[in-house]
Structure 1
C-alpha cells in the first residue's frame, strides 16, 4: 500500500490524510511506493502525456481526467558555440561526444515544467475532496496548481511573495485561484502558507513537501530515456532551488537502473544562482546538510532563490550518489544566456536559462549533456 513516509524519522501516514509533513520533525514526506518496469516497446501506442508511464506512477483515480496533455516536450540539440547554428531537432540519435541538448519543458499547458508535478497533486487532491487547495510559489508552481486545480474543480488559493511577476499573477487569477501576496521574500511566503496549511479541510499542494509532485517531475527523465531509445544522457543538468526537478530525476534514475532498463547512472549536475547558493556552498564544503540559511539576496533567477530548502540533505545526497556536482552562475551570465537562447529561437525566463548559462561557461563534459529550459520568457520578459 502506498503511504507517506518521513525519510528521516521513518514515521508513516496514510496518503488519504491531509497531514502535510512529518508530525515529529516537521520535514517533508517521501512516498513509500514501488514502481514497475515501463515497457519501452509498447510506448508508441500509448497516451501522449506523462500518464504513458503508468507503471512508474502512483495509482491516482482521477489522473486521466485531470490531465491537460502535459509532458512529451521536445529534445532539441544546441551548439556550444555562441555563433554556431542549432545542429538538429528532437531525435533519438546520439548527438555526439561533448554535445548539449535542451529539453523544452516550457512548452507545457502553463508554460513551465511545474505542470508535471501539479497534475499529480491535483489528481490526488480531487480524490481527497478538501475544502480548499493551498499552494505557495514564486509564480510557476502556483500557476500550475491553479490551472490543474481548475481542471479538477477544486477551490484554490496561492500564496506568493510581493513583487511576483504581474504576468504570473495574471495567469493564476485567470484560472480562478485566489492570491495572497505576502510581504517579504520567498521564505516568508512559505512560512505563511505552512501556517495556513494546518487549518481543517486544507490540502497543502506543496511542490516541496508533498512527494506526489516529485513522482510527476521524474517523468522528465523517463521521457529522455524514451527519446534516446532506452538510454540516458551521460549528464543531466538541472536548476536547483527546492530541488523538485533534481529529486524527481534521481527517483527516475534509480527506478530505471533498479529495473535493469539502463546500465549506468548519469551524473546529476545541479545549478544555482551565485547570489543564493546554499546547496552549492554546502556541497563544496563536504557538508551533508545546511547549517544555516543563505542570505536572501536579489537574483534574476528568482525561481531557485531558496535560502533554506527543506529537502537539502536529500538533494546533496542525490548529487553525490551519481558523481555529479554543483555549479553556480552570475547575474551577467544569466542575462547573456537568456539573450543567447533568444537568438537561437528560444525565449526562456531568467530562472530557466540558468543551466544553459552554467554549461556554456564550464568545460565540456564527455558524452551527451541535457539541460532543461523550464519556463517561458513570456512569463517575465527579458532580464534587465
Structure 2
C-alpha cells in the first residue's frame, strides 16, 4: 500500500519528499536520496519463520504489507576460504550477482507505484537484475549501458525483455543518458545509486551473514566499492544490528588501482572524492570515477574503523584464477576482495582477524581474462 511507504530524505540538506511524487534526486542539491526509515530494534527478527527469500527479513525492510515480486533470492551459501575468511556466494543469486538484492526491492516498489516504464543504467549486473525483476513484476524496462559492456550481460537483459540502449562513452555517459529519461513523465528511475530502497535490499547480505554465523558478525566485512551499493547496504545493516546488541565489524573497502577515487580521498583525509579518469580495468563493476555517494561511503568506512585497499590488474587476474582453482568461478570484480586480503596479497591486511568476502558476480558473465 503506497500510502505507508517510507519517504525520501536528502542526507545533505534534509529535504524530504513523498516516494509517490518525488523526483529521482534531491531537487535542492541534485544528490541521491536516503530513506526515512529505521527498523524497530525491539521487533523480533525471526527469519526462519519467513519465506525462502530476502523477504524473510520483512521486519527490517521498508516495504510494508504483502509483496509479490520474488525469485527466492538470497540465502546464498557461506563457505570457508581458509581458517579466518569465509566467502558468501552471491554469484548464485537468480541473475548471478548480488544486485538481485536491491533489484527485487526496486521492482516491488515500482510495481506498487505503477509507472509506464522503468529506466535504469548499468555496466552490466545491475541492469541485468533490474531487467529480470521487472519481467517478474510485469513492468516495461529500458536499460542504458556504456559501449563495451559485455555482450553476455546485454544478451541477458534482452532475454528478460528489456530494451537495451548502448551509449557511446563510459559508465558516466550511460548514467547521464538514463537520468535524462528519468525526468520524463511516467518514468520510474530504478537507480541502484540514487534510490535508497536498493540499499535496503543489499543490506540483507549482512543480515544473512549474521544469521549464518549464529547471531554474530566477523571482525571485518571486506567489500568491493564502486558506487558503494553493497558497502552502504552493509553499513545500514551493521548499524541496525548494533541496536540489537551485535558487535559491529570494520568495513574494509576495495577498489581497483586503475579507478580508485574513494581510496585516494580516504588516504588524503578528504571528506569527499574528486573525480578521476575512467581508465580501463578488469573490475568494470567498480570502475566508477565519480561516485555520487562518495561522502557517505567515506564516512561509513571511517565510522567503522575500517580502511581502503586497492588492487592492481595482475592481482585481479591472479585472484580470479585462484578462486577458480578452489571451485569458485567469478568475474574479476568479484575477485577484487580476495585479491586484497587473500593469500596472494602482498601483506596480511586482516592481521589475524576473521572476515567475510562477497563473491558477487559469476564468471560465466565475463569469462577468464588472458
Q: TM > 0.5 between the two? A: yes
Match of 1:266 among 249, 255, 271: 249
- Secondary structure (helix, strand or coil) at the match of 1:371 reads strand
Contact 1:182–1:188 (CA<8 Å) still a contact in 2? yes
The aligned residue for residue 88 of structure 1 is none
Residue 166 (1) aligns with residue 151 (2): yes
The aligned residue for residue 11 of structure 1 is 15
- Secondary structure (helix, strand or coil) at the match of 2:338 reads helix
Counterparts of 1:59-74 in structure 2, within 5 Å, are 59-61=63-65, 63=67, 65-74=68-77
- Secondary structure (helix, strand or coil) at the match of 1:246 reads helix
- Aligned-CA RMSD value: 1.2
Distance 1:267 1:6 in 2: 26
Distance 1:43 1:379 in 2: 31
Match of 1:31 among 15, 32, 35: 35
- Secondary structure (helix, strand or coil) at the match of 2:90 reads coil
Q: For residue 51 of structure 1, report the CA deviation from its aligned partner.
A: 0.7
Q: For residue 108 of structure 1, report the CA deviation from its aligned partner.
A: 0.4
Match of 2:291 among 292, 297, 309: 309
Distance 2:22 2:117 in 1: 11
CA offsets 1:182-209 (integer angstroms, 9 cap, x no match): 0000011111111111011100000000
Distance 2:65 2:15 in 1: 25
Distance 1:169 1:47 in 2: 31
Q: For residue 19 of structure 1, report the CA deviation from its aligned partner.
A: 1.1
CA offsets 1:52-75 (integer angstroms, 9 cap, x no match): 111100124563x11110110000
The aligned residue for residue 376 of structure 1 is 362
Match of 2:80 among 77, 80, 84: 77
- Secondary structure (helix, strand or coil) at the match of 1:158 reads strand
The aligned residue for residue 43 of structure 1 is 47
The aligned residue for residue 236 of structure 1 is 221
Residue 299 (1) aligns with residue 281 (2): yes
Distance 1:240 1:53 in 2: 24
- Secondary structure (helix, strand or coil) at the match of 2:127 reads helix
Distance 1:196 1:43 in 2: 38
Mean alpha-carbon deviation: is it higher for 54-63 or for 338-347? 54-63
CA offsets 1:206-242 (integer angstroms, 9 cap, x no match): 0000000000000000001101111100000000000
Distance 1:51 1:272 in 2: 30
Q: For residue 11 of structure 1, report the CA deviation from its aligned partner.
A: 0.3
CA offsets 1:30-50 (integer angstroms, 9 cap, x no match): 00002134635x332321111
Distance 2:290 2:353 in 1: 33
Distance 1:150 1:307 in 2: 31
The aligned residue for residue 308 of structure 2 is 326
Distance 1:34 1:274 in 2: 35
The aligned residue for residue 100 of structure 2 is 115
Residue 283 (1) aligns with residue 266 (2): yes
Contact 2:48–2:56 (CA<8 Å) still a contact in 1? no
Distance 1:377 1:56 in 2: 32
Distance 1:44 1:57 in 2: 16
Contact 1:18–1:202 (CA<8 Å) still a contact in 2? no
- Secondary structure (helix, strand or coil) at the match of 1:237 reads strand
The aligned residue for residue 321 of structure 2 is 339
The aligned residue for residue 351 of structure 1 is 333
- Secondary structure (helix, strand or coil) at the match of 1:345 reads coil
Could you say if the C-alpha distance between residues 297 and 307 of structure 1 is closer, same or farther in structure 2, counting changes exceeding 3 Å?
A: same
The aligned residue for residue 90 of structure 1 is none
Mean alpha-carbon deviation: is it higher for 142-151 or for 51-60? 51-60
- Secondary structure (helix, strand or coil) at the match of 1:51 reads helix
Distance 1:318 1:193 in 2: 28
Name stretches of at least 5 consecutive residues in structure 2 with no aligned partner: none
User: Normalised by the size of structure 1, how large is the TM-score?
Assistant: 0.92
Contact 1:106–1:375 (CA<8 Å) still a contact in 2? yes
Q: For residue 285 of structure 1, report the CA deviation from its aligned partner.
A: 0.4
Distance 2:52 2:222 in 1: 25
Distance 1:259 1:194 in 2: 38
The aligned residue for residue 147 of structure 1 is 132
